[in-house]
Structure formats: C-alpha cells, structure tokens
Structure 1
Amino acid sequence: MDTDGTHGRHGRPEPRTAGHVPRPAGPSGHPAPAHPADPSGAPGPSGLPPKPAHAPGAGPAPTAAPAAGPTLTDWLRVPRPAAGPGIWSYGHVPRAAQEPETTPTRQLISGALISLLAGLLLWSLLWNGYLGGFWLWPLYMFTPDSWAGTFPSVVASYVWYAVVALTLAIGFGRLGRWPELGRRLLGGRAVRAVDPAPRPVEPGGPDDPAQWTEVRAAGLVEAADRLGAEARAGRMNDVDYARIRRAWETVRADPSRTRAFDQAVRDKGAGACVHPSGARDLPVRAARHDLLARQVQLGTVQDGERNPYARRGSGVALDPAVLGTSLLAIGPSGAGKTTRLVRPVVESLALQALAGQAAVIVVASAGTALGPDTGYDVVIRVGDPDSVYDLDLYGGTPDPDEAAMLLAEGFVGDLPGIDVRRAATALAQLLGPFRVAHGRFPAVPELRELLDHVPVALATLRGTLEAAGQHRMLRELDARERQHGASADPGPALADRVALLDRPAFAGFFNVKDADTTGAGRPFSLRALEHPLRVRIDLPERGHADASRVLARLLLAQFNAAATARTDRSLFALLAFDDASHTLTPEAVRGIQRLRSANAGVLLTLRTLDDVPEALRTPLLGAVGCRMAFSGVTTWDGKRFAETWGTEWVETRDVTHRTVFADQPLTRAIHAFRKLVSGKAVTTDAVTVRQVERERWSASDLAHTVPPGHAVLSLTSVRGERAAPLLVRLGG
C-alpha cells in the first residue's frame, strides 16, 4: 500500500535525503485507483523508464523536529473560503464589490461642528425652558407627588437629564458622523475599522481536518489516531497530509483497498503511501504553496484604480483549475518569466506529484534555474553524455502511423509549404516496413539513410522483408520510391531536419537500437503521464538551437497526443516551456484546445509574439484561457492582448469650468476682489457623468504603464469562470 495514490515505480538519479520534514510553506481532482509498484523496475507499455543502475539511496525522509513556524494543525484549520479563479484562498477575506464613498476630512469636521452646535443649542433651549416643559412629562408621570422637594426627586431629575443629554449626543453624533471622524483622525489606533477575519476551524470539532474524521467514521479509528498524533507531534508535513488524503480518496473509490490503507498507516504513520521515489518534500521551495487548495501564490493584486476594488490587495494564485485552460506569458528577457512564473508553477506541480495528484514535465535550456536535480524523478540532458535518461523520439507508441504523425509534426510542422500529413505518410512508408523487419523503429542515423534514399540501406531493408515474406510492406517501400524526387516530396525536408539530430554531440542519444536488448540510455516516453512524475528536459539551446526547436516541437506534439490518450485522467498533467519560441504549429495550437477536457494543460512563455508565425498569433491567444503580459512588452504585442481582453463600460466625469458674470455692482466688486487675491476668475463647475466603452488595457498602457516586477494577468477556469485582467505585483 506504500504507493496508494501514486502510479507505478520509476528510478531517480539521486534521491533526496533531507534532514528534516519542512513545515507548510504558507499559510482536490478526481479520485483514481492506485496502482501497485512494479518491483522489477522494467519499462512497461506506459513508457516509464527503468530504474538507474545505481542504488536509490535512503527511503523516506526522516522525521526530525519541525522547523519554526506555523504547525501543520494550525495550517489545516485556517479557513479557505470559496473564491473566484486565481484568488489565493488561504485565509482570504472577501471585500465589498464597490468602493465605499469617502467623504473629505474637512467636510467631516465641518459637519461634526455644525451638529455639535445644533445639539448644544437644542439642549440650551430645553434646559432654559424656551421650548416649554413638555420634555419633562416622563419625569412627572413616573415619580409620585410625595417626592416633591426630596432627595429621590433630585436624583430622578438628574438621571432623566442625563438620559435626554445622551439621546441628543447619540442622535446629533450620528447626524454629524462623529464615529467616522474619530476613525479618520485616529487611524492606526485600536479604533480603526478592519474587515472581519474568517474564523478558523474549531480544534477537535467535527470539521477539524487534523482529526481525520472521515477515516474515523469509516471504522479505522486506530489509523485516524495515528495520523492525528503524527500531525500534532510535528512528524507530518503538508505533502504527507495531501498524499495520504489522496490515498484515502482512492480507498473511497475502491473499498477493497481499505485494509491495505489501514495497515500502511498503522505501520508507517506519516510515511505511509509514500511516492515511489521515497521523497516526502522538495529539497528547497522558492514560492508559497497551499497543497490543501493545490495553489501556488504568484503575487498580490496592486491596490490601485486599474484593478477592481474587490480584488485589490488580494493574493493571486494558480492551480490546476486554471492551468487546465493553459497559460501564455509574454515578456522580454529579464522580466521574470522563469523565476516568478515557471519555477513556482513547476514547483507546485512537483509537490502535487509527490502527493500523487499530478505529473509535470518542464522543458528548458540547459542551465536554467529550475531547482536542483534531486527535485526531479527524471532529468534528461540532451547532448550530455552523463545524462542518466534518454528521450524516446517515437513517444513510446508501437503504431508506425502514430509515430510518423508525431515525427512529422516535430520535424516539418513549422515549415510553410510542407503538408504535415503528406510528410507523415512518407515517414509511415519507412517506419512500418522497418519495424516489421527489425521489431523496432529506426535509430536516427538509420532514419536519415532511409530518407536520403541511400541504396544500400533500402536494399538491406527490402531483402529482409522479402526473406520474411512481407509483401505488403514491400509495397509501402515501392510507394516511397515512386514519390522520391517528386516536386512535392517532403523527403528532403525531413532528411534535413533529421540530420540536425544526427550530430556527434547526440551520439548515444535517441538510442532505440540497443534499448530493447541492453536497456542503454533508459529512454523516457511521455506516455508515462499516467504516473505522478517530475521530469525536467534540458535542451542544448546554445550550441544546437535548431535541434532544440525540433525537439521542443516534438515534445509538444507527443504531450498533446499522450495527454488526450490517457485512460486514467485523474492526475493533472502539465507541460511547461521556459521558452516556446519557434515551437508552435497549427496542429499544436489545435491540440492545446483539446487539453482542457483531458485534465491537462501547457505553460508557454515567449519573449514576443513575433516568435510565433503571424497566422498563429490570434488563434494562440484564443486557444489558451490564461494570458499574462509582463512589464516591457512592445506595443505590437500589447495590441494583440488588448484585442483579446476586449472592452468594458466605465463611468466618466467631464468637468467644465465656466466663468461667472455678475449683474449686481456689489457682486461684481466681490468677484473682482477674489480675482485680485487669487489671480483666477470666479468660475462654476458643470459635471457631466456618462457611460463609455473603453479597452480594459490598451496597447500603450501595457507597453508603458506596467511597472517593473509587475504583470497583467487574466485567468479562466476549466468550469468557464473568468477573471478580468489584473495588474499583479509578482512575488509580493
């Protein structure tokens, strides 16, 4: 039961052996049946790579004393009210939809003085009897005549006077808005009005998440007591809680696993149902996470007029509910796309992978700061001979037609004038016969020889097929030979792109030739998305830019195909590109639109939309549900965002100053004196209020008014909820 809530088993180059269990960093999805671990570590049909040859090291992280900070139980009891998309729900306090009207302080003071004088005047008139003695009738009614001139009568009179005076003070105080003036003048003191904070969950109550009431209600009292004791003693962290809760969801979906869950929890406590890597946390965290809500905080909404009043000052967070619609971020180099967006999101999904809730793959240039290697299960360094893992160019599929379509998309999907389907047909005419003849797909040098129509390679393949009696595959080769050299033949373009990978720097990579027999290279396939994996792929962008772009397009095509083909979509799958320049193709954009229903999404960052073909810029902005413009975008890019975000109705006030011309001699003299003193003519103001339709963010605003360290972000959830573009202070 140690893998409840996870799927399968895989190796890691260097598993983490942390010295303590970190505390929560701040302040779920569809339950799926868990899959038992595969003790052999052999690659299965899912494309999961085998374990590395060296030992995996220690098992689960030790449980030392917790670090200083909020305890897990306190973190669990903080309320997380339901909020809109992108709102950091941890301790969120909703605000009013509209900003209350603010009266100027001078007007408050004058109103308070006038009401005070009016109250004193009325009291004086009552006290001196100028208004008669009608206000004393309650005193005469409720005091007997025998009290006249006695001490009780005097006491009753002064009590009644105090009641009347207090009533006048309250009435005129409210009329003169004395409490508001007091709060205004004593701002920062104890009398300042504050929004009521949400009340935390009562410890030990029926809704206390630290008590594991659902587990206890199912009859697993001993397991619930063990989990509660682990949390109170500080031996459980937020990842442990999320992971075990995920495992419990699988038990609810499949009650036959109840006994295994109970036994695992009673034996190992917070270390039960651990991720196959044995890790219970990341080596280091660079962002603020809330695993209970599956959120990562990016920053805070700026408290300014450009943002709706209800959202000002609130936290901005991303979670699978919005990432499932995919996110596109545009910003120049140095704007913070990697450190303030890609790394926090990847880190959040990596933590969720440890909890058995997600799978994340990040593609970046070698050397990009995306966390240490020990924070990932699989690290593929293309072009590095010391890389433990290799990349499967064919996506782990045994179907030659599917492999041909993926390769065609990656190799020539960006070339204008090349029909991708025709290129896929040309590749299938070679891949099918080769797989029948050799039981595998061709290696890169072999595929290049076939596309270049090398006579020896074709003759050898033909001879093997003839010996095996594969006449149907021979007809495929005949068709390829007839098309070779035609004007519309995609073979030369495919051969040129394959040649980019047939370089000395990539010798030993994409090694499908020996993988089936020796396991060399440990090929990784994106078909492993059904497992809670953390994968980082480093591309050799500096020395082999064109090859890196080919691989990036291939990975995006494989991800779109693998994510939608999953039979178990309970895990949220994310593919993050630190730089998606020259990666997008028409088929890739169409594939991104289909990810929303597959519980998957992509994160794309670009320096500018000019890195995308012009015909794809508008479809790309329409395909993604979340859009982000960093500080420093150009007006050309800003225009595209402005068109995408559309317009809104706003209220405008036009003030017209008109000079006052007096008819009376005295009034003219007074106006002349005021003009002599102030230097300005006496005017009156005419205010015109109207509703006009304006762009939410104009191209000029995006290019010139977004401060450094900020971004304008709009979000859409998979349920269709939308958040208007907000100016966000990143990292705050």
Structure 2
Amino acid sequence: MNKRREQFEALKRKLSALAGVPDETEQAPPPGSQSMRQPWDAIRTSHADLARQLDELAAAADLGDVDRARIAHVIGRSGHDAGELERLAEAVQQDHGAALVHPSRQRNLPGTRFALHNLLAGQVRLGEVVPDHRSDYEVVGDFGLDLDVLRTSLLVIGPPGSGKTRGIAIPIVEHLSLAALTGKASMVVIDPKSTDFAYDGWFDVTIDPLNPTCGFSLFGGSKTADVAADRLASALLPPRVSDDKAYFIDASKNALYACLAPFEAAYERWPTVPELLGLLRADQSAMDGVKSRLKGSGSKEMKALLDTRRAQTHRSVDPAASLVERFALLDRPALRRLLDHPGPTFQMRDLNRPVRVRVSLPEAEYPDASRILARLVVSQFVQITSSSETDRSIFKGLVIDEAGRFVDDYVARGVQKLRSNNAGLVLLTQTISDFPPDVRATVFGSTGCKAVFGGIDPEDADVFSRWFGDQYITETTINRSATSGVRYDEFGSVGGRSQSHTSGYSARRVERARWTVSDIITGVPAGHALISLARSNGARVGPVLVNLRA
C-alpha cells in the first residue's frame, strides 16, 4: 500500500512540475521563519551585509511576493556581478522593500487577485485536475502554467460564455502584469470589447483611439523602409487572396516602399498619416516637398521611386488603389491623434523592458480601422520578438481575444520563431474556422499548448480528438452456451429435460480515441477545459481535464 502511495505522489509531482504548479508536499514555513529558504541565500557568503538587510526586511514583513521575486530576479540576472549587486545594496539601503521598483512604482496590483500566483517560480494556478481514466494522470491536484509553458504559445477554443476569458485569459494576464512588476516579463493584450481586461493598475500603457493618452507608432520597431512597408501592408491588406490578386498585393507593398524610403531619407523619420497618404495618392505638393529635401549620392534613386509611384497612379487601374483606400480609413481625427500623437508614443521595441500594454479596440465606432490597428499590433509584435536583437532575458507575451480575425500567414509562421526568443502568444477564439483557411493548420501545429471547452463545433472537436490521440483499453468478451438433454429418474423412466450452461471469457487490447468527438462536445462540464501543455524543451503532458472554477 505504501508503494502504491509513493507512485501516486510521484505521478502528482511529475504533473505539477510539467504543468507549472508548486509541489504541495513541500510546505513552506511561515514568513520570517529562520528555516525558510530565501531567494538571496546564494549571496550570503559574498554579500553578507546585503543578505542580512534583506532578512531584516523579510522579518519585518516589508517584502511582499512581488518584492521578493523582483529582488530574486535581480540577483539571478547579476550572475554574482559585484556592480549589479552593489546597486541592489544601495537601493535596499535607500528604498528598503521598494528597492529597484518597477517604473510604475507599483509593488502589487490593486484589489483582490483573481488567481493564485507563485512569482518566484513564475507560476499561476488555473484550477484543479479532475481524475479521469482518459488522462495520463488520474490524480487530483492544482493545475497551472508558467512562463516556460507560455513560450510554446497557447491556443484556446471555446464557444461564447464557456469561460475562456475568466478561466484562462484573465489569470494569465494578471500573472504577466505581476511578472512585469518583478522585471521578468512584458505583455501586450488586445481587448476587442474594450472592457474584458480594463482593470486599474494592470497596465502602464493603454492604446485607445477614443481616449489617446498615449500614441502608437505606425512603424514601431521598423528600422528599414522595406520592413516597414511589408508590415504595414500585411495589416492593411486582406489576409487571403487568390493567385490572380497576388499581383496587386505585391504592387501595394512596392507602392508603400516607394513612398516610405524617400521620405525617411529626406526627413530621417517616418511620415505621419496625412503625409504618407499624400505620397500614396501622388499629390504634387507632397512629392515635390520630399524631392526638394533629398540630397547626396542616393537622391537620384529615391526620386526615381517617387516617380514610379506617380506612374502607378496614372495607369488605367492603380494596382495599389485598394491599399490607399484602406489606409485612408486611418485618416480620421481620433485615429490621427493616436497614430501621430504629439506626446509619449509606444513603440513595439519597448517590449524589451517590463512594460504592460492594453490595446482597446473601438469596434463599434471604427470597425475596419480597429481591425487594421489590431493586425498592425500583432504583426509588429511578431516582428520585434522574432528579431535577433530582442532581449531574451525578459518574457514577452501577447494575449489576443477573438484572435481569428487578426492572425495572418506572417503571424502564424512567426509563432514558430518566438519560442527561442522567450516570447509567446495566447490565442483565444470561438472556433478554428475563425482563422483564415490557409493558416489554420499552421496555427494549430505551431502552438504547443491547447485548451478546449465543451460545446464546440463538431469539426473542431474532431481536430482535437485526433490531436489528443488514442489509447489502449482492454475489451472483454463473455461467451455463453447452453446444452439441452433428457433427464431420467431412478427407475429409468423419463423424468424431464435437463439444461447445462458453459461460459468463456476473452480479453484483447484495442485502440480507441482518448477523447471522442462526442466526449469533447458533451462530456466536458461547464467551467471545465481539456488542456494539454508543452514545455520549450519538448516535454508534453495532457490532455488533462481541469476544473477552472475550483
């Protein structure tokens, strides 16, 4: 019996370690206890005074879990660098528990937390495992995620009202917000409804066209005109076109480049919305203004690009006309105040520091422009985080609600590059069909983690059923037979008929779907989800039935 119990606990610890939740068998002593392991134990010998000061702050309850995780991150990042640790010591001497606090000056999030977090380990609890014979682990315990799991990206599929936002997205966003306060993470959240993630104190920057307190760079992170043209075109143009329309897509990208490259060479900055729109429309005054400022050896080539764009507009059909009209959707007073903001402006390269960004989409007021803005944010995020110049010491997360409308082929292929650069996506949508047909397989295959709720479309359920795989079960067959005969009494007379029965058993191992289509659609209770996880090193677990309301 003891051996059985040990196997049970070993399986539980294995699942906990992979799912990113603490080992419940290791109970931590109360705060301030001398026997409690501290994040600064590694520097007790080399920096005894700093360790002693931190012990005193911990004993005085002046260190919350955010403070402890922030200090631990600084110590771990320093690699025993004397200068870095000296800076920490000076900050502790001056600011005590607020040493090296986040630029927002926050040491915690306001209000009651939605989920349980282990910030030292970078973990957030989502719910409780429900024992089920179809799972690899028939144990009860906490179930959660950590930043390494999120590096593989997460796809969440569930019908309206199933609990995608409350059960999965909000705990993850809350955790990334806390992790940013510790210096470990940065995040961008796309909020199509403008209210799902609008929590005070969770974000440093809010991109809101209806209330533009901070601007958003239309070309954020782009250092060259060709990269800026490709990214802007991917946001403006429809995600899927037939082969006969590919010519117009290429012509549109060339038109953007022909306008951006000369302007950047002339002014050493990117154009505003009206300035770029004037060049795209080949307005004479806009063209002449740029040409007059072009100097040097490359000016002839740049002027030729502008002439090429003017020649396009003089054709019977301008191949970039669709792009120009879609870009004109951004030439509205409210959107110009956001994209050409005179004050502080967020650029996507700012994610290389612990910043928290929410993009509020005014779809009711500007439906088309909102979709363009969202797709621009997503493509810029993938561009920056997949770059070789990104800071890999900080996790960068992008949470996208209603993701099917904002993910194109560039983004789908870019998911595969994020893992090695310590970044990941959380994609939430109602059905896989929301994604363009040509990217569905790429999105599904590129995301290492999957979560599915009950009541989904049968086609989606079939995809997940095949993804979760098969398992072997023992199928037992009972064979019964009866034999009849004549029964005689003791005098040899016929006394009646007799009947005997024989039974036989046979067992065989057969392969069946672990979760059938019907199981997924009708067998996953409300408030529950089937979740499979993957780590950046390739380790996998699942599917596991999780009670998100536990």
TM-score band, normalised by the shorter chain? 0.7 to 0.9
From 470, 477, 483, the equivalent of 1:661 is 483
**2:362 aligned with 1:545:** no
After superposition, residues 469-480 of structure 1 pair within 5 angstroms as 470-480=299-309
**Cα distance, 1:567 vs. partner?**
4.2
SS in structure 2 opposite 1:481?
helix
The equivalent residue for 2:530 is 712
Partner Cα separation in structure 2 for residue 444 and residue 538 of structure 1 = 20
SS in structure 2 opposite 1:614?
coil
From 140, 149, 154, the equivalent of 1:322 is 149
The equivalent residue for 1:240 is 67
**Cα distance, 1:630 vs. partner?**
1.4
The equivalent residue for 2:277 is 448
Partner Cα separation in structure 1 for residue 149 and residue 259 of structure 2 = 41
From 24, 29, 41, the equivalent of 1:213 is 41
The equivalent residue for 1:651 is 473
The equivalent residue for 1:627 is 450
Partner Cα separation in structure 2 for residue 545 and residue 610 of structure 1 = 20
For 2:367, the aligned partner's letter is: A
The equivalent residue for 1:414 is 239
Partner Cα separation in structure 2 for residue 488 and residue 627 of structure 1 = 46
Number of aligned residue pairs: 524
**Cα distance, 1:262 vs. partner?**
2.0
After superposition, residues 86-235 of structure 1 pair within 5 angstroms as 86-92=18-24, 197-198=25-26, 200=28, 208-210=36-38, 212-218=40-46, 220-235=47-62
For 1:652, the aligned partner's letter is: T
The equivalent residue for 2:549 is 731
With structure 1 as the length reference, what TM-score do the two structures score? 0.67
| Deviating 4+ runs (over 6 angstroms) | 201-207, 466-469
Cα separation, partners in 2 of 1:460 and 1:252, compared to 1, 3 Å: closer
Partner Cα separation in structure 1 for residue 132 and residue 545 of structure 2 = 9
Greater alpha carbon shift after TM alignment, 270-279 vs 695-704: 695-704
The answer to whether the Cα contact below 8 Å between 1:301 and 1:726 also exists between their aligned partners in 2 is yes
From 286, 295, 299, the equivalent of 1:457 is 286
The answer to whether the Cα contact below 8 Å between 1:622 and 1:644 also exists between their aligned partners in 2 is no
The equivalent residue for 1:612 is 435
**Cα distance, 1:691 vs. partner?**
2.1
The equivalent residue for 1:279 is 106
Cα separation, partners in 2 of 1:501 and 1:85, compared to 1, 3 Å: farther
| 1:441-489 CA-partner distances (Å, limit 9, x unpaired) | 2222222232233344334434444899922210111222334466996
The answer to whether the Cα contact below 8 Å between 2:17 and 2:23 also exists between their aligned partners in 1 is no
SS in structure 1 opposite 2:44?
helix
**Cα distance, 1:438 vs. partner?**
2.9
The answer to whether the Cα contact below 8 Å between 2:32 and 2:61 also exists between their aligned partners in 1 is no
The answer to whether the Cα contact below 8 Å between 1:88 and 1:315 also exists between their aligned partners in 2 is no
The answer to whether the Cα contact below 8 Å between 1:302 and 1:728 also exists between their aligned partners in 2 is yes
The equivalent residue for 1:352 is 179
**Cα distance, 1:208 vs. partner?**
3.8
Cα separation, partners in 2 of 1:205 and 1:479, compared to 1, 3 Å: same
| Percentage identity across paired residues of the two chains | 35
The answer to whether the Cα contact below 8 Å between 1:329 and 1:628 also exists between their aligned partners in 2 is yes
**Cα distance, 1:287 vs. partner?**
1.0
**Cα distance, 1:379 vs. partner?**
1.4
SS in structure 2 opposite 1:660?
strand
Partner Cα separation in structure 2 for residue 682 and residue 367 of structure 1 = 76
The answer to whether the Cα contact below 8 Å between 2:233 and 2:256 also exists between their aligned partners in 1 is yes
Bigger fraction of residues in strand? 2
The equivalent residue for 1:429 is 258
SS in structure 1 opposite 2:79?
helix
Greater alpha carbon shift after TM alignment, 651-660 vs 245-254: 651-660
| 1:272-316 CA-partner distances (Å, limit 9, x unpaired) | 1211211101113111111122111111121232323x3431221
From 226, 239, 247, the equivalent of 1:401 is 226
The answer to whether the Cα contact below 8 Å between 1:358 and 1:573 also exists between their aligned partners in 2 is yes
The equivalent residue for 1:721 is 539
The equivalent residue for 2:9 is none
| 1:171-215 CA-partner distances (Å, limit 9, x unpaired) | xxxxxxxxxxxxxxxxxxxxxxxxxx4465799999842383222
Q: Unpaired runs of 5+ in structure 1?
A: 1-79, 93-196, 668-680
**2:107 aligned with 1:289:** no
**Cα distance, 1:410 vs. partner?**
1.0
Greater alpha carbon shift after TM alignment, 557-566 vs 361-370: 361-370
The answer to whether the Cα contact below 8 Å between 1:452 and 1:491 also exists between their aligned partners in 2 is no
Cα separation, partners in 2 of 1:464 and 1:265, compared to 1, 3 Å: closer
The answer to whether the Cα contact below 8 Å between 2:528 and 2:548 also exists between their aligned partners in 1 is yes
From 448, 463, 471, the equivalent of 1:640 is 463
The equivalent residue for 1:111 is none
SS in structure 2 opposite 1:307?
coil
Cα separation, partners in 2 of 1:289 and 1:471, compared to 1, 3 Å: same
**2:343 aligned with 1:525:** no
The equivalent residue for 1:691 is 509
Partner Cα separation in structure 2 for residue 277 and residue 615 of structure 1 = 42
The answer to whether the Cα contact below 8 Å between 1:579 and 1:605 also exists between their aligned partners in 2 is yes
From 393, 408, 411, the equivalent of 1:585 is 408
**2:328 aligned with 1:506:** no
For 1:354, the aligned partner's letter is: L
**Cα distance, 1:614 vs. partner?**
1.4
Partner Cα separation in structure 1 for residue 419 and residue 145 of structure 2 = 15
**2:235 aligned with 1:392:** no
For 2:201, the aligned partner's letter is: T
Bigger relative contact order (CA 8 A; separation at least 6): 2
| 1:117-146 CA-partner distances (Å, limit 9, x unpaired) | xxxxxxxxxxxxxxxxxxxxxxxxxxxxxx
The answer to whether the Cα contact below 8 Å between 1:394 and 1:407 also exists between their aligned partners in 2 is yes
For 1:299, the aligned partner's letter is: G
**2:77 aligned with 1:250:** yes
With structure 2 as the length reference, what TM-score do the two structures score? 0.88
The equivalent residue for 2:496 is none
The equivalent residue for 2:5 is none
The answer to whether the Cα contact below 8 Å between 1:364 and 1:539 also exists between their aligned partners in 2 is yes
Partner Cα separation in structure 2 for residue 86 and residue 374 of structure 1 = 31
**2:396 aligned with 1:573:** yes
Report the aligned-residue RMSD: 2.9
SS in structure 2 opposite 1:287?
coil
**Cα distance, 1:627 vs. partner?**
1.2
Cα separation, partners in 2 of 1:571 and 1:82, compared to 1, 3 Å: farther
SS in structure 2 opposite 1:501?
coil
| 1:648-690 CA-partner distances (Å, limit 9, x unpaired) | 23123233352433658499xxxxxxxxxxxxx9966543322
The answer to whether the Cα contact below 8 Å between 2:481 and 2:503 also exists between their aligned partners in 1 is no
| 1:623-655 CA-partner distances (Å, limit 9, x unpaired) | 11111111221101112222333x323123233
**Cα distance, 1:412 vs. partner?**
1.3
Cα separation, partners in 2 of 1:448 and 1:267, compared to 1, 3 Å: closer
Cα separation, partners in 2 of 1:456 and 1:467, compared to 1, 3 Å: farther
For 2:443, the aligned partner's letter is: L
For 1:692, the aligned partner's letter is: V
Q: Unpaired runs of 5+ in structure 2?
A: 1-11, 490-498
Partner Cα separation in structure 2 for residue 706 and residue 620 of structure 1 = 23
**2:321 aligned with 1:492:** yes
After superposition, residues 302-317 of structure 1 pair within 5 angstroms as 302-308=130-136, 310-317=137-144
The equivalent residue for 1:535 is 357
After superposition, residues 33-44 of structure 1 pair within 5 angstroms as none
Partner Cα separation in structure 2 for residue 85 and residue 475 of structure 1 = 60
